[in-house]
């Protein structure tokens, strides 16, 4: 809906004395509108979408109809902004499932295939990466000595080992406690999710996270339209607005459909083990019961559901 609309309609019927004033007003509004046109600040497609967006409730408070309308609105917005038809679902958690993840540090060779698969799958702004791989000297676990920007000709480098880090989906998450509007919470299947349409962008959760796992959309996400993943989830990889926090969500759009997360699929080294902690026959349970597993910053009591282990 263009800014010139209301003013134009009114000038046809308005008295001459006011016409000039309203024209100036329309001009002023249009000038302001032009300034914001290229930066469509809060998204929105029609006026009703804008209002619906503004008044949208928290995900857990919305009725099924409201959620359905919200999902459709997201699909419309994506179509409008990127010209891509996406499908946004809000698949519920599967009963009897608690997700866990383990990384075999002996196997990770630092390829960063997981990092880039995640960027593609989750429609990340190309300046954001949910996964950060640290290169550390062998048998050094001091994260402060990790090299984040390693770029040697080949990996793995002799004498180093590699630690991919992403959201640990803690059982006792400091970020969930910190959020003043409950925009982030733990779902029944253990995934710590963010309602991107509820987040106010205060970034307290980013200060609270001890793993530097949360990322903020400082500007409008740089997302090439041709690379958009179209199967999306409301709490997962749907295109995000500006000014909100986001993070790894265990590929909720995939894992709730029974599929593996993108990082696990991309890893050529088979270093990633994902599964249901409540299933005694799952691979993740075998790893936890038979391997020397450890978690990062165990002393902080965050109880991450992301383990690391070695073969030897």
- Which residues in 38-57 contact other proteins (CB under 8 A)? 39-52, 54
Q: Among candidates 118, 303, 101, which has minimal Cα distance to 211?
A: 303
Rounded to an integer, what distance in angstroms lies between the CA atom of residue 134 and that of residue 112?
A: 10
Rounded CA separation 305/172 (Å): 10
Cα gap 9→251, rounded to integer Å: 48
Q: For the CB of residue 77, give the shortest distance to other proteins in the complex, in Å.
A: 8
Residues 232-271 close enough to bind other proteins by CB under 8 A: 241-245, 255-260, 262, 264-270
Q: Where in 280-299 is the site for other proteins (CB under 8 A)?
A: 281-284, 286-287, 290-291, 297
Provide, rounded to whole angstroms, the least separation between the CB of residue 174 and other proteins: 7
Q: Please give the Cα distance from 67 to 46 (Å, whole number).
A: 18
Residues between 8 and 27 with contacts to other proteins, criterion CB under 8 A:
22, 25
User: Could you give the CA distance from residue 281 to residue 257 in angstroms, rounded to a whole number?
Assistant: 19
Instruction: Check binding of 92 to other proteins (CB under 8 A).
Output: yes
Task: Identify which of residues 183 and 191 has a Cβ nearer to other proteins in the complex.
Answer: 183
Residues binding other proteins: number (CB under 8 A): 144
In this structure, how many other beta carbons lie within 10 angstroms of the beta carbon of residue 268? 10
Shortest Å, Cβ 210 to other proteins: 3
Nearer to other proteins, 75 or 135 (CB): 135
| Beta carbon nearer to other proteins, 19 or 203 | 203
In the complex, minimum distance from the CB of residue 110 to other proteins, in angstroms, rounded to a whole number:
6
- For the chain, the C-alpha Rg in angstroms (whole number) is 23
Shortest reach from residue 106's CB to other proteins, in Å? 10
127, 227, 298, 303: residue in contact with other proteins (rule CB under 8 A): 127
Least distance to other proteins, CB of residue 279, Å: 7
Closer to other proteins by CB, 181 or 225: give it: 181
What is the CB neighbour count within 10 angstroms for residue 279? 13
Q: CA separation (Å) from 277 to 32, 56, 97, 101, 149?
A: 54, 34, 7, 9, 33
Positions 150 through 209 that interact with other proteins (CB under 8 A): 150-157, 165, 174, 177-183, 198-204, 206-209
Write out the two tokens for 154.
Answer: 């080949």
Q: Which of 8, 9, 31, 33 binds other proteins (CB under 8 A)?
A: 33
Nearest to 209 by CA among 181, 235, 177: 177
Least separation in angstroms between CB 12 and other proteins: 17
The answer to whether the beta carbons of residues 217 and 246 sit under 8 Å apart is: yes
| φ, ψ for residue 195, nearest 5 deg | -90, 100
Residues 93-122 that bind other proteins (CB under 8 A): 94, 97, 104, 109-113, 115-117, 120-121
Q: What is the DSSP secondary structure assignment for residue 74, as one 8-state letter?
A: H
Q: How far is the CB of 67 from other proteins (least distance, A)?
A: 11
């Amino acid at each position: 809906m263009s800014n010139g609309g209301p003013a134009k309609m009114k000038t046809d019927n308005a008295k001459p004395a006011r016409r000039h004033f309203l024209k100036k007003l329309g001009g002023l509004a249009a000038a302001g509108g032009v300034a914001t046109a290229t930066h469509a600040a809060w998204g929105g497609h029609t006026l009703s979408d804008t209002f619906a967006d503004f008044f949208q409730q928290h995900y857990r408070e919305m009725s099924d109809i409201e959620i359905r309308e919200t999902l459709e609105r997201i699909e419309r917005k994506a179509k409008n902004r990127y010209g891509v038809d996406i499908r946004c679902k809000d698949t519920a958690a599967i009963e009897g499932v608690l997700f866990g993840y383990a990384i075999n540090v002996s196997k990770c060779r630092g390829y960063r295939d997981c990092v880039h698969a995640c960027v593609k799958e989750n429609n990340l702004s190309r300046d954001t990466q949910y996964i950060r791989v640290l290169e550390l000297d062998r048998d050094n676990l001091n994260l402060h000595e990790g090299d984040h920007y390693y770029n040697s000709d080949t990996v793995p480098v002799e004498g180093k080992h590699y630690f991919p880090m992403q959201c640990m989906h803690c059982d006792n998450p400091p970020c969930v406690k910190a959020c003043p509007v409950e925009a982030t919470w733990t779902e029944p299947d253990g995934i710590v999710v963010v309602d991107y349409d509820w987040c106010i962008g205060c970034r307290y959760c980013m200060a609270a996270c001890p793993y530097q796992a949360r990322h903020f959309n400082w500007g409008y996400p740089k997302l090439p339209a041709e690379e958009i993943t179209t199967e999306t989830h409301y709490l997962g990889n749907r295109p995000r607005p500006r000014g909100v926090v986001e993070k790894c969500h265990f590929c909720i759009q995939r894992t709730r459909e029974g599929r593996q997360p993108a990082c696990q699929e991309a890893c050529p080294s088979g270093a990633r083990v994902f599964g249901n902690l409540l299933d005694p026959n799952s691979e993740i349970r075998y790893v936890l019961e038979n391997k020397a597993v450890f978690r990062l910053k165990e002393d902080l009591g965050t109880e991450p559901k992301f383990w690391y282990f070695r073969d030897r």
